[in-house]
A and B are shown apart, each in its own frame.
Chain A
């Protein structure tokens, strides 16, 4: 039996690149998506091209019942999850004074509470199997936020603390929990900031370029794999040296 990975937000950006990388590394992959059925189907094809099983599963991470159902369907169709990658995320960048309460609620619901609920479901299954790996996706904004990112930065800060706390809780069951904090990456999510001030952005990065999603995906897939068998409770910055000079 191949290991089974679930990648939330797997139809695009870092999640999509991670799903493909996991397929390349020998995982069967469930691609979680909310609206991108077509791109999700393409990621499924890409994973299948490695000779692995892949399915696309629709789920709105703001609805707890849908998350519960997602894992049950995954149980039935692929078996118990071995690796969970929480890559789904949203932004509602806005200055706090100009924001609506709903901006914070949506961002926290998807970026944090969605992660919590997915980890709860995955952890119970992994505990029964006495093995598993969870990789959360934070952001450089958790530690070095920009203007207008209070909701996003807060959600990612919560994810980082949650990641470490969960690692403590699950270590005795041979379940590793780690996070990756990507810098600015070539994805739709960072399109606005990259378009508004491309030079300003790259000036802050030691490597003087933004990341390709595959560069983040390789680190996530490594942490999800047995190659990282002695790594837990860590949040790794994969940001090209953001704001280090």
Chain B
């Protein structure tokens, strides 16, 4: 199911079920927290639904590693705030949220950047055997 429209639809359905909202409200550009009101438990729920739907595994470690890439924690976020290199890495990783990746960002706030597109990208990378 690495076909883009199918992945998009399945991810939107997982999000809609989790948030108990109509599918139409969940658009590819919708931000999970700000637009759809998701909390951290919802993220877990969405990830589990996606894992089941696509028979893949997305661990928290993988999500953190995905954000950092090859960078060490110290390079990525020295003193708990993302470095310029860390911000750049994030803009490349999440182009859909690039305008929100601003100096002063803390790693814990990265979740706030997640949109439906972010999950779609993650699933497609997994299905294609790429590192997200």
Asked whether any CB of chain B lies closer than 8 Å to the CB of A169, the reply is yes
Chain A interface SS verdict (over half): helix
CB-based contact A128/B41 at 8 Å:
no
Q: Write the chain B residue with the least CB distance to A75.
A: B52
Does chain A have a CB within 8 A of B96?
A: no
Inter-subunit contact B49/A169 (CB<8 Å): no
CA distance A173 to B19 in the complex (A): 11
Complex Cα distance A125/B48, Å? 8
Residues of A near B48 (CB, < 8 A) are 124-125, 127-128
**Candidate in A125, A128, A169, A173 with the most chain B CB atoms within 10 angstroms:** A128
Judging by beta carbons under 8 Å apart, are B41 and A172 in contact?
A: yes
Contact in complex: B44, A124 (CB < 8 Å): yes
Q: 1/0 per residue B45-59: CB within 8 Å of A?
A: 100110010000000
Query: Could you say which residues of chain B place their CB within 8 Å of the CB of A124?
Result: 44-45, 48
Residues of A within 8 A of B45 (CB): 124, 127-128, 173
CA of A127 to CA of B44, assembled, Å: 9
Which A-B residue pairs are the 5 nearest by beta carbons? A124-B48, A127-B45, A128-B48, A128-B49, A128-B45
Q: A128-B52, A173-B41 are in contact. List 13 more A-B contacts (CB 8 A).
A: A124-B44, A124-B45, A124-B48, A125-B48, A127-B41, A127-B44, A127-B45, A128-B45, A128-B48, A128-B49, A169-B41, A172-B41, A173-B45
Which residues of A pack against B, CB within 8 Å? Answer: 124-125, 127-128, 169, 172-173
